[in-house]
Amino acid sequence: MTPLSKPRVLMIDDDPQDRSLASVLLSRRLPEAQIQEIDGAATFARELRRGSFDLIITEMQLAWSDGFEILESLREAKAKVPVVAFTDLRDEEFAVEGMKAGLADFVFKSSKGYLRLPEAAVEALERAEQQLLVARSEPWLGTLLDRANVGAFRTTLDQRLIESTPAVLRLLGVRNVQDALRVKLPEPFFVNGSKEELRDLLGDERGLQSREVQLKRPDGSNVWLSLTELLLVDVDGEMVIDSLVRDVSHLKAREDAFRGRVEELERSNADLSEFAYIASHELQEPLRMVEKFGSILAEDFGGKLGTEGGELLGFVVDGASRMQSLIDDLLALSRINSEGQDFEQCDAGELVERAMVNLSDRLEENQAEVDVEPLPTIEADVSQLVQLWQNLLSNAIKFR
């Protein structure tokens, strides 16, 4: 049974008329309420021993006690029930002192006060019910977080640790809160904002931030932590930061290993592409020589080789042609996969000579002469610059 279903209320007042009127108004708002009127110390002591009540409404000035003594009696009895003051005292400072002492609300006796009293009682009961639910959930929630090795802690905006769970101590590599205070905690996400700016974040999605931080433990080891921070206001009206933290070092290690493998594969692919490019160029000239002399042999000596010899020579020429096609495809593939190599110092004239060697067969067939003036040393991608010179010479021969 929750406090709001059938609340049990103690109505404490020396004035029977005030008690009766307040009880009537409260019954209209809470028809199921069980209201017990208290007119003296003996009656209050008896009900306090029984402990069977959910709310106290009390006058602050009594012939036999006062509101502050009522609060103290409840604390001594460990009775966690809300207390609403309903009093003739019209002193604002007195009301503030009462709220600081633990009153749930402070209502002055007046026509408006009598009308507000039932709502103040309902609000006090609702807050008590919420606190009860929170108190019941804290043990199992704390156990769940601890078993999952997820820590929870609260800090001020200037990084002063207020409280923490045992898991936080384990993650920080310390034995107690005193040691934890000596650990340099990550700077809060909200540390650079003014109080006015931070208040605008309260209740906003920007008031909840997540990030990963690296922390150095007292023993010198490093740990990667996933940190989720929530900006809120505590019961004293001060802005604080509640945080959840868990160890993600193993995930970071896997991430680093994966990144290393990706980089290794990228290097391997680059080397393979470079090899394909170089191989395709270096094989072209020998292959052209095979094709050239095979054709000459077929034209000049084909009749002397006989039927079987001519057939074998045809296999040689056809194989060379198919190999040329494969090399062309390999060159095209290397161009697709290559994003270029790092620039290096190279002699531009030597690169032209290399391109001429690759095209020596075509240059000879077309009786082309290439005059190479002195060229400077430059920074370039060697393989791609050789290809550039080779393309320029090929076009010059083709479109002469």
Output the pLDDT for position 1: 39
CA distances from residue 188 to 103, 104, 208 in whole angstroms, order as listed: 34, 33, 12
CA–CA distance, 168 with 59 (Å, rounded to integer)? 46
Would you identify the CATH topology of the domain 8-142?
A: Rossmann fold (3.40.50)
Output the pLDDT for position 44: 94
Is the pLDDT reported for residue 50 higher than 70?
A: yes
Query: CB neighbours of 73 closer than 8 A, spacing ≥ 6?
Result: 44, 48
Output the pLDDT for position 52: 86
3-state secondary structure of 367: coil
Task: Give the residue among 28, 21, 47 at the shortest CA–CA distance from 36.
Answer: 47
Is the pLDDT reported for residue 197 higher than 60?
A: yes
Task: Give the residue among 158, 154, 185, 191 at the shortest CA–CA distance from 171.
Answer: 185
Q: What is the CATH number of domain 149-247?
A: 3.30.450.20
Tokens 């800090």 -> residue: 155
The mean pLDDT value for 215-226 works out to: 86
Average pLDDT, rounded, for the chain = 82
More confident residue, 119 or 310: 119
pLDDT tier at 191 (50, 70, 90 boundaries)? Answer: low
Output the pLDDT for position 335: 61
CB of 87 within 8 A of CB of 67?
Answer: yes
Output the pLDDT for position 165: 82
Is the pLDDT reported for residue 84 higher than 90?
A: yes
CB of 128 within 8 A of CB of 54?
Answer: yes
CA angle 102, 106, 111 (to 5 degrees): 165
Output the pLDDT for position 61: 93
Tokens 């023993």 -> residue: 219
Is the pLDDT reported for residue 340 higher than 60?
A: no
**Which residues pair with residue 210 across a beta bridge?**
228
* Helical pair 306-337 and 249-301, crossing angle rounded to 10 deg: 150
CB of 36 within 8 A of CB of 127?
Answer: no
Between 229-238, 243-252, 383-392, the lowest mean confidence (pLDDT) is in: 229-238
CA distances from residue 137 to 74, 133, 165, 297 in whole angstroms, order as listed: 24, 6, 15, 95
Alpha helices in the chain (DSSP H): 16-29, 41-50, 67-76, 92-101, 111-147, 166-172, 177-181, 195-201, 249-301, 306-337, 348-358, 360-365, 382-398
pLDDT tier at 2 (50, 70, 90 boundaries)? Answer: very low
Task: Give the residue among 53, 124, 54, 49 at the shortest CA–CA distance from 86.
Answer: 124
Domain borders along the chain are 8-142, 149-247, 255-398
pLDDT digits (tens, 9 = 90+) for 93-117: 888 888 888 899 999 999 999 999 9
CB of 224 within 8 A of CB of 214?
Answer: yes
Is the pLDDT reported for residue 339 higher than 70?
A: no
